[in-house]
Amino acid sequence: MIKNFIKTAFRNLWKTKGYSFLNIFGLAIGIAAAALIFLWVENQLSYNDNFPNKKDIYIVKSKQTYDGATFVFESTPGPLAQNIEKEIPGIKHAVRMTWNSPMLFSVGDNNLFQNGLYADATITDVLSLEFMEGDRKTAFDKVDNIILSESGAKKLFGNQPALGKTVKIDNKELYIVSAITKDLPKNSSYNFQWLIPFKKFESTQDWLTRWDNNGIQTLIQVEDNANVDQINKQLMNYVKNRTNGEVTFSQNLLYPMERWVTHNRFDNSGNEIEGSLKNIRLFSIIAWIVLLIACINFMNLATARSEKRAKEVGMRKVVGASRQSLIGQFLAESLVLASISSLVAILFVYICIRPFNTMIGQDLQVDLFKPIHLAFVIIITLICGLFAGSYPAFFLSAFKPLSTIKGAKQKAGTGSLIRKGLVVLQYTASVVLIICTIIIYQQIQHNKNKDLGFDKSQVLTTALQGDMAKHLPLIKNQLIATGLVEQVGVSDVSILNIYNNTSGFNWEGKDPNKSILIGMLRADEGLVPALDLKMFDGRNFHTNLLGDSTSVLINETLAKLIRKDGHVVGSILNYGEENYTIAGVVKNFVYNNVYADPDPMLFIPLVRESGLLNIRTKAGIDLPQAIQQIEKIIVKNNPGFPFDYKFLDETFNSKFQAELFIQQLSSVFAIISIIISCLGLFGLAAFATEQRAKEISIRKVLGASVSGLIQMLNREFIILIGISCIIAFPIAWIFMHKWLADYAHHITISWTVFVLSGLTAIVIALLTISSQAFKAAVANPTKTLRDE
C-alpha cells in the first residue's frame, strides 16, 4: 500500500509541477534557514566543548562594589593563583595568564603580528592542548621557550619545520620554539597563536607581587567532584584575609566555563544575567517561525488543490479505502515532499554556509555523517512532513465519496476559512520580523550617530612600538609637516576602551564611606585636539608635559560628583601621597559602554613609553595618499616594525557587533519569511484565479474592465494582509519595547515604522498576486466558457 501511496505522490507532484515547485522550494528555503540557525545554536551551545576538562574549568571573577553598583571583572592579583592552589582544597591547577594580545614576530624577513598570551605551564594540562611537536613536560622549562599554534607556526615558517627554531619578538627578544600545538576551534574561548611562560612576564612586572593590583587572569581546574561552593566560600574573602583586611575592594569567585558564553553578563548588583542564551532563544524561535511559515505554504497549497484531488479521494473511498488509510496516504505524500525539500535544503545549506559563516564570523560546518546533523534532518523532515501534511490529510480524507465522484464542489467554507487564517498567520509573522528588523536597525543607527563628545572620523590609530616613543616629537612634527595631518595625540589605550581604573582618588568633601571607581587614561597634550574633545572648563595639558605632570583633566561626570556645577578647576585630587591639580574639565564623551552615560574618568599626563598614536588627518584630503605618507614617516623613524593601523570609527563600529549580528540575522530571516510567504501567496492567487476563471469570463463578457477585475481579485488578499498587520503591530511593539528596554538610550518606536512595514508587506503581496490576477483578467473569456 505504501508503494501505491508513494507512486501516487510522485505522479501528483509531477502532474502539478508548478505547485510542487512552490511547495518544495518554499519548504526547502524554510528548512535551510532553520538549519543554518540551528547550526549556529549548536555552535554556541557547544562552545568550549573541545576542552575535555570543560566541566572542571573556571575563571576567577572579581566582584567590586563602588557607590552602590557592583562590577564583575576577570582581573585578579598576581599572587592569587599560586596561593589558592596550595591552600584551597579542591583546586587542581591555578594558572596565571595575561589576556590575548598582539606582538610583533620576526623570522628572517617575515614580520607579522600574532596574538597570544603569557601563562603558567599547567595551562597545557588544563586546556588539554594537543601537542603536534615537542614535549608537553619540557615545553615551558625555560623562560625563553615559546609554544606556537599550528597556524601560528605555519604563518611564520611556512612549510619549514619550526621546532627548535628561533623567533624574534618585538625586534628585541629571542625565543626558541619548544612545541607546536594543534589549533583550537573557532568556537572556543581561547584562540592564541603563541604561549610564553608566565615567568618571563613576571620578571618584568613588579606589581605582580601586590594583592591590591588586579592585572592578570586566573584560570582554575578543580579536582573531579570538587565542592565548588566550598571553594567559593574560601575564595570570597581570600584576598582580604590574606592581607589582614588591608585589601577589601574585591571578592573573588569561580565562574564555570560552561556559562562563559551562554551567560557571563552581570547586572548592577553583580547578579548573573543571560549572555548569548538570549540570542540563542530568540533565533531558535525565529527558526521555528520560518519553518511554520514554510509548513503553512504546504498546507495552503495542498488544501487549495484539494478539489483536483476530490475525485481520487472519492473513488478510493468507493473501492474500499478507509479514512485512516487516506490520512496515511496524504501524510505519506507530504513526507515524500518534505524529504525532497530536505534534500534541496541540504544543497542550499552547503551553498549558503560560507557566506553565512562570513556574516556571523564563525566556522559552522555541516556534516551529514554527524549523528546530530543526520538526526536533525530526519526529525525536521518528519516534523514538517507530518505537521504540514496533517491538515490536508484530515481535510481531504473527510470528503464525502458520493459528492466527489459526482463532481460536486466541496464546501469551501471551512477549508477556505482555515486557508485564509493560515495566510494571516504567515503574514503576521513576516510583518513582525520586518518591524523588528527596522527597529533594530534604527536603534543601532541611533547609537552610532549620537553625539559622542568627540569626532571619530578621519582618525587613525597605530601602536607606539620599538623606538617610536623616543622619536615622538620628531614623528609628530614630520606628520604635521606633510600638510595632510591635522593633529597627533598619544594615549595609553584607545579612548573607546578605557579599562584601567581605580577607586583610590580622594578629594575634599568626598564621603569617606563612598568608594568611586574612576577610569584612567594616560594622554599627552595632543589627544584633546586630535580627537576634538571639547573643554567644559579650564585648559588642556601644556605642551611641556613634564612641567604639567601633576595636572589632570577630568570628565564632566567626575567634575559633577566633586561639585554639583562641575566647576572644579584648580581643585586637588589626591591619590595616596600624590596630589593632582584639576587643570581642566572635558565635556562628557562616550567610552567603554556606548549605550550608557559615561562613568567618571580622568586623564593623567602620559609618562609611559608605550601606547597609541591617534592621528587626525585633514578633511577632504586623499586618504590613501595620506596613509602612505604617514607609513613612510613612521617606518623611517622606527625601522623593522610593520605599520599597522586602525580607523577609530572601525573600532567604534566593532562595539555594535552583537547588535549588528542580531540585525543581520533578523533582516535575512525577515526576507526569507517574506519570500516563503510570497511563494505561498503566489500559489494561492494562481489557484483562486483558476477557480474563478468562469466567473471572471462571465463578468468580462458582461463588461467588466481588466483593472476592475484585477482589483476584485486582489481585494480579498489585501484584506488578509491588512488583518495580518493589525495583529502583527501590537505583537511587534511589545516585543521591541522589551528589547529596547535593555538600552539606557534608545529610540522611541515611531508609528511610521508600522506604516512602512505594513505598506511593504502589502506592496510585495500585490506584486506577487497581481501577475496572476492580470493573467486571468486579460484571458480570452470565450476559451474559458467553452472549456466549462
Partner 1 sequence: MSAKNMIKITNLQKYYRTEEVETVALNNLNIHVKEGEFVAVMGPSGCGKSTLLNIIGLLDDLDEGSYLFNDIEVAKFKERGRSDLRKHNIGFVFQSFNLIDELTVFENVELPLVYTNVPAAERKKRVEEVLEKVQIMHRRNHFPQQLSGGQQQRVAVARAVVNNPKLILADEPTGNLDSNNGNEVMQLLTELNEAGTTIVMVTHSEHDAKFSDRIIRMLDGQVIMETTSLGS
Q: Which stretches of the chain bind partner 1, using CB under 8 A?
A: 1, 4, 7-8, 11-12, 15, 311-312, 314-323, 325, 401-402, 405, 407
The smaller minimum CB distance to partner 1, of residues 319 and 619, is found at 319
The smaller minimum CB distance to partner 1, of residues 320 and 371, is found at 320
Task: Say how far apart CA 192 and CA 667 lie, in whole Å.
Answer: 33
Tell me how far the alpha carbon of residue 173 is from its chain's centroid: 37
CB of 306: closest distance to partner 1 in angstroms?
15
Across 251-271, b (16+ Cβ under 10 Å) vs e yields bbbbbbbbebbbbbebeeebe
CB of 731: closest distance to partner 1 in angstroms?
39
Tell me how far the alpha carbon of residue 726 is from its chain's centroid: 31
The x, y and z cell numbers of residue 342, run together, are 530536505
Please report the DSSP string for 541-595 in residue order: --SSGGGGTTEEEEEHHHHHHHSTT---TT-EEEETTEEEEEEEEEPP---S-TT
CA end-to-end distance (rounded Å), the chain:
35
CB of 317: closest distance to partner 1 in angstroms?
7
Q: Which segments of 277-382 are extended strands (E)?
A: none
- Going by the DSSP 8-state scheme, the letter that residue 54 receives in this structure is G
The smaller minimum CB distance to partner 1, of residues 321 and 429, is found at 321
Task: Say how far apart CA 516 and CA 146 lie, in whole Å.
Answer: 41
CB of 312: closest distance to partner 1 in angstroms?
5
The smaller minimum CB distance to partner 1, of residues 93 and 317, is found at 317
CB of 21: closest distance to partner 1 in angstroms?
18
The smaller minimum CB distance to partner 1, of residues 211 and 395, is found at 395
CB of 693: closest distance to partner 1 in angstroms?
20
CB of 311: closest distance to partner 1 in angstroms?
7
CB of 315: closest distance to partner 1 in angstroms?
5
The smaller minimum CB distance to partner 1, of residues 57 and 337, is found at 337
The smaller minimum CB distance to partner 1, of residues 160 and 322, is found at 322
DSSP alpha helix (H) spans, 605-705 = 623-637, 648-653, 657-691, 693-701
Q: Give the closest residue to 84 by CA, choosing from 195, 224, 231, 228.
A: 231
Task: Say how far apart CA 161 and CA 386 lie, in whole Å.
Answer: 57
The smaller minimum CB distance to partner 1, of residues 18 and 355, is found at 18
CB of 417: closest distance to partner 1 in angstroms?
19
CB atoms within 10 A of CB 375: 10
Give the CA-trace dihedral at 349, 352, 354, 356, to 10 degrees.
-100
The smaller minimum CB distance to partner 1, of residues 252 and 329, is found at 329
The smaller minimum CB distance to partner 1, of residues 3 and 786, is found at 3
Contact status, residue 272 vs residue 259, Cβ threshold 8 Å = yes
The smaller minimum CB distance to partner 1, of residues 398 and 671, is found at 398
CB of 697: closest distance to partner 1 in angstroms?
24
Task: Say how far apart CA 601 and CA 99 lie, in whole Å.
Answer: 23
Q: Give the closest residue to 420 by CA, choosing from 157, 687, 100.
A: 687
CB of 398: closest distance to partner 1 in angstroms?
10
Backbone angles phi, psi at 508, to 5 degrees: -65, 130
Beta bridge partners of residue 503, listed in sequence order: none
Beta bridge partners of residue 77, listed in sequence order: 214
